[in-house]
Amino acid sequence: MDGVSVISPRIWFVGIPLLAALFFWIPSPMLVLIAVLALPRLWGALKDRSLVDSPYYRVAPGVRLEYSVQYLGLASLLAIMSFEAHRAIIA
């Protein structure tokens, strides 16, 4: 199980559009790579609804909260660092 799916298997429906918006704001080949690697998960969630509701994705609320805080903290840190690196390159 990947960390993002612990929060919700449907998080891919939010993540892919956010990635696209971020790419248009700050174009980066890394964002394209991440999107390409995430597409199979999105396709799987769209194609097989029973997979999303399977016992594999059921976790205790405390675990879900812990992973959410860690994932959002990591995403925030990486976003800030990426923004600072981009700004340093431009300046």
Q: What is the pLDDT of residues 44-83, one digit of tens each?
A: 777 877 766 677 677 788 888 888 888 878 878 887 887 7
Contact, 1 vs 49, CB < 8 A?
no
Q: pLDDT tens digits, residue range 28-38?
A: 787 788 888 88
Cβ atoms of 70 and 4 closer than 8 Å = no
Work out how many domains the chain is built from and give that number.
1
User: Which residue segment(s) compose the domain that 65 sits in?
Assistant: 3-90
